[in-house]
Amino acid sequence: MDDEWICARLGEDEPWQLGAVNPPVFGSSVFTFGSMAELGAAIRDEDERYVYWRGTNPTVDLLQRKLAALERAERAKCFGSGMGAISAAISSLVSAGDHVLVLGAVYGPTTQFLRYLEKFGVTHTHVADLAACEEAVRPGTRLLYFESPSYMRYEIFDLEAVAGWARGHGLVTVMDNTWSTPLFQKPLTKGVDLVVHSLSKYAGGHSDVVGGVVAGPARLIRPLALTEYQLYGAAMSPHDAARVIKGLRTLPVRMAAHQERGLAVAAFLEGHPAVRRVNHPGLPSHPGHGVARGQMSGFSSLFSVELDTDSRAEVGAFLDGLRHFRIGVSWGGFESLVNAPALTVEESVRATLGVPVGLVRLAVGLEPAATLIEDLGCALGGIA
Please give the average per-residue pLDDT across 24-43, as a whole number.
Answer: 90
What pTM, to 2 d.p., does this model score?
Answer: 0.95
- Mean pLDDT for the stretch of residues 51-61: 88
Measured in Å, how far apart are the chain's first and last C-alpha atoms? Answer: 52
pLDDT at 1 (0 to 100): 75
Q: By the 8 A CB rule, do 246 and 71 touch?
A: no
* Per-residue pLDDT at 49: 84
What integer pLDDT is reported at residue 223 of this predicted model? Answer: 94
- What is the model's pLDDT at position 104? 96
pLDDT at 198: 98
| Whether pLDDT at 344 is above 80 | no
Q: Which of 241, 381, 221, 251 is nearest to 308 (CA)?
A: 381
Strand ranges inside the chain, DSSP E: 75-79, 99-103, 123-127, 141-147, 172-176, 194-198, 212-216, 275-279, 302-307, 326-327, 337-339, 359-363
Backbone angles phi, psi at 194, to 5 degrees: -130, 145
What is the Cα–Cα distance from 325 to 229, expressed in whole angstroms? 37
The candidate with the shortest Cα–Cα distance to 92, out of 198, 174, 150, is 174
Q: Does pLDDT of 346 surpass 70?
A: no
What's the mean per-residue pLDDT of the chain? 94
Indicate whether 60 pLDDT > 70. Answer: yes
How confident is the model at residue 348, as a pLDDT? 64
Third-level CATH fold of 250-380: Aspartate Aminotransferase, domain 1 (3.90.1150)
DSSP annotation of 225: H
Confidence of residue 382 (pLDDT cuts 50, 70, 90): confident
Q: What is the mean pLDDT of residues 270-276?
A: 96
Q: For 315, list phi and psi in degrees, rounded to 5.
A: -60, -45
Q: Report DSSP state, residue 235.
A: B
DSSP state of 295: H
3-class SS letters over 104-173: CCCCHHHHHHHHHHHHHCCEEEEECCHHHHHHHCCCCEEEEEEECCCCCCCCCCCHHHHHHHHHHCCCEE
Among the ranges given (24-28, 159-163, 330-334), the one the predictor scored with the smallest mean pLDDT: 24-28
Topology match between the domains 3-247 and 250-380 = no
Contact 70, 249 (CB under 8 A): no
pLDDT of residue 170: 98
d(CA 261, CA 259): 6
In the prediction, which pLDDT does 79 show?
A: 97
Rounded Cα–Cα distance for residues 368 and 346 (Å): 34
Q: Give CA 214 to chain center in angstroms.
A: 10
Predicted local distance difference test score (pLDDT) of residue 45: 78
By mean pLDDT, which of 111-120, 223-232, 241-250 is the weakest? 223-232
The domain limits of the chain are 3-247, 250-380
Share of the chain above pLDDT 70, in %: 97
Nearest-5° Cα angle at 200, 196 to 203:
75
pLDDT at 343: 83
Q: What is the pLDDT of residues 199-215, one digit of tens each?
A: 999 999 999 999 999 99
Specify the length of the chain in residues. 384
Give residue-wise pLDDT tens across range 64-101. Answer: 999 999 999 999 999 999 999 999 999 999 999 999 99
* Residue 36, CA distances (Å) to 32, 40, 99, 127, 147 in order: 10, 6, 44, 53, 46
Closest to 236 in 3D by CA, of 10, 12, 54, 46: 54
pLDDT value of position 384: 59
The topology (CATH level 3) of 3-247 is Aspartate Aminotransferase; domain 2 (3.40.640)
